[in-house]
């Protein structure tokens, strides 16, 4: 299908200038400015990579001196490591939960109600989501401890967000609960596009459900998987609201659940150290660009 009109080039400005003006003024220019000030000190002198060096060696960001202590030590393992842990746990969990649920709900009556219930977490403002997490993990009041009590595991009850070794994981699992709806919806839509005939053909051939899944379903869902992975990765790197709300500006007990975006905010708007904050932001952006370049390469290939 032909999609292009031979253009009257003089019309280009009309169509593009409003968007480009806004983007240049409020996105590109600030981005460049942030990169710029990350190379300077607060007194205005050029310091090259000093800020980056400071950031990457500061315990708030990277605290691998004594890994055996794990998250219990001050600063935990550093915000960067916390973000990575977030990715390692949250991405596979939310993705596969969503996928599994999408498959289960394929033939369920009233599936859209169930899906909506699960999707509620995505619709909530993340700051509210974080507050809900804090409440849910609180000793005595929250259902997490309630479950443990019912199961007779009273020794496990505690305020999960107040203890350094569990704070980070509590928030991560909480965010899985919030974010699974996304992969659920995307996979549901994807599953709906797979023709029934494929499954029937597989059944006739005597394929087990597992084989059907791995040989037919999963490969056909590749574009969805890609989208879920990319969006989730980006989201995990940029996490801010949830942590702020669930454990506070300090990033938790001894900053055990600190994340890059939160540290950047604290440095910028509480310590007013704009240069270091800019370095953190640039590092964060570099990471996100890596992710998106990977996605674009796939898009372009197709």
Partner 1 sequence: MDDQVYGEKMKIRKSTIIVHIIAWSVALIWVLPFLGVFMAATRPWGEISHGWWNFAEFNPTFENFVAAWTDERASIAVGMLNSFLVAIPSTVMPMLVASLAGYGFARFSFPIRNYLFLTIVLIMAIPQQMIAVPIFQIMSSLGLVSNYIGLILVHSAWGLAWIILFMRNYFLTLPVEIEEAARVDGASDFKIFYKIVLPMALPALASVAVLQFMWVWNDFFLAQILIYDPEMLLATQRVSRMRGQYIVSWDLLSAASILVMIVPVLIFALLQKYYIKGMVGWTVKG
Partner 2 sequence: MKMPTTMENVITVLVLIAIVTSAGSLWYGLTVADDVGTLTDSVATLVDQMGDLATSVASVATSVADLATATTADLAAIADDITAISDRVKEVEKEIGPTLTVIGPWSGAEMDAFLPVLAAFENKTGTKVSYRIYRAEDLAPILPAQFAAGQAPGDVIFMWNWFIQEKGEEGHILEVTGLIDEADFRPGVLDLVKVDNKLYGGAYTGKGKPGFWYRKSFFTANGLTVPTTWAEFLTLVDDIAAIPGIVNPILSGDGVGWPLSDITEHFIATYGGPQLHRDLTNGTVAWNSTQVETLFTDRIVPLLDGDFSDPKTWDTYIENWWNGSEYGLYFMGSWITGMVDDPTDLGVFSLPEAPGAEGVVFSADYFFVPAYTEHPKEALELFEFLASEEGQSHQVAEGGHIATNINVPLDAYPPGVDTDMAIAMTGKETLLDLDDTIGGEFQTTFWSQLQLLWVQPAQLDAVLDAIEAKAP
**Site residues (vs partner 2, CB under 8 A):** 8, 10-11, 14, 18, 59, 69, 72-75, 134, 138-139, 158-159, 162-164, 248-256, 266, 269-272
**Quick one: which of 251, 269, 270, 256 has its CA closest to 130?**
251
The helix/strand/coil state of 75 is: coil
DSSP designation for 251: T
Binding of partner 1 at residue 168 (CB under 8 A)?
no
Partner whose footprint covers residue 271, from partner 1, partner 2, none (CB < 5 to 8 Å by kind): partner 2
The distance of closest approach from Cβ of residue 163 to partner 1 in the complex, given in angstroms and rounded to an integer, is 20
The distance of closest approach from Cβ of residue 196 to partner 2 in the complex, given in angstroms and rounded to an integer, is 49
Cα distance between residue 85 and residue 91, in whole Å: 10
Which range binds partner 1 by CB under 8 A, 76-84, 86-94, 139-147, 200-208?
139-147
Partner whose footprint covers residue 88, from partner 2, partner 1, none (CB < 5 to 8 Å by kind): none
CA dihedral 200, 204, 206, 212 (to 10 degrees): -20
Nearer Cβ to partner 2 (158/238):
158
The helix/strand/coil state of 47 is: coil
The distance of closest approach from Cβ of residue 67 to partner 1 in the complex, given in angstroms and rounded to an integer, is 27
Site string for partner 1, 95-134 (x = CB under 8 A): ------x--xx-xxx-xxxx-xxxxxx-xxxxxx--xxx-
**Quick one: which of 62, 47, 31 has its CA closest to 282?**
31
For partner 1, the binding residue among 148, 169, 199, 265 (CB under 8 A) is 265
Whether 213 and 102 have beta carbons less than 8 Å apart is answered as: no
The distance of closest approach from Cβ of residue 73 to partner 2 in the complex, given in angstroms and rounded to an integer, is 5
Binding of partner 1 at residue 87 (CB under 8 A)?
no
User: Hey, which residues between 45 and 84 contact partner 1 (CB under 8 A)?
Assistant: none
Within 10 angstroms of residue 58's Cβ, the number of other Cβ atoms is 17
Nearer Cβ to partner 2 (16/294):
16
* Residues shown for the chain: 302
Nearer Cβ to partner 2 (142/190):
142
DSSP designation for 28: I
CA dihedral 62, 46, 238, 225 (to 10 degrees): -90
The DSSP bridge partners found for residue 46 are 40
């Amino acid at each position: 299908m032909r999609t292009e009109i031979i253009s009257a080039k003089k019309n280009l400005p009309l169509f593009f200038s409003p968007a480009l003006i806004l983007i240049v003024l409020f996105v590109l220019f600030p981005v460049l400015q942030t990169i710029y000030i990350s190379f300077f000190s607060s007194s205005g002198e050029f310091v090259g990579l000093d800020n980056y060096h400071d950031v990457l060696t500061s315990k708030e960001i990277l605290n691998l001196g004594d890994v055996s202590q794990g998250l219990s030590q001050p600063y935990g393992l550093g915000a960067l490591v916390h973000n990575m842990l977030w990715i390692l746990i949250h991405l596979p969990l939310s993705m596969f939960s969503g996928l599994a649920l999408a498959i289960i709900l394929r033939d369920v009556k009233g599936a859209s109600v169930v899906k909506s219930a699960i999707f509620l977490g995505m619709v909530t403002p993340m700051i509210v989501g974080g507050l809900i997490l804090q409440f849910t993990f609180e000793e005595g009041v929250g259902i997490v401890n309630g479950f443990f009590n019912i199961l007779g595991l009273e020794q496990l009850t505690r305020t999960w967000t107040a203890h350094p070794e569990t704070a980070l994981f509590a928030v991560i699992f909480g965010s899985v609960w919030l974010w699974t709806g996304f992969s659920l919806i995307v996979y549901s839509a994807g599953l709906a596009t797979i023709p029934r005939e494929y499954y029937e053909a597989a059944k006739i051939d005597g394929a087990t459900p597992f084989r059907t899944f791995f040989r037919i379903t999963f490969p056909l869902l590749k574009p969805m998987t890609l989208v879920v992975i990319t969006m989730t990765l980006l989201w995990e790197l940029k996490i801010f609201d949830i942590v702020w709300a669930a454990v506070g500006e300090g990033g938790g007990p001894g900053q055990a659940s600190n994340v890059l975006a939160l540290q950047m905010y604290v440095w910028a708007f509480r310590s007013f150290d704009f240069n270091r904050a800019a370095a953190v932001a640039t590092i964060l952006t570099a990471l996100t660009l890596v992710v998106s370049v990977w996605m674009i390469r796939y898009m372009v290939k197709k």
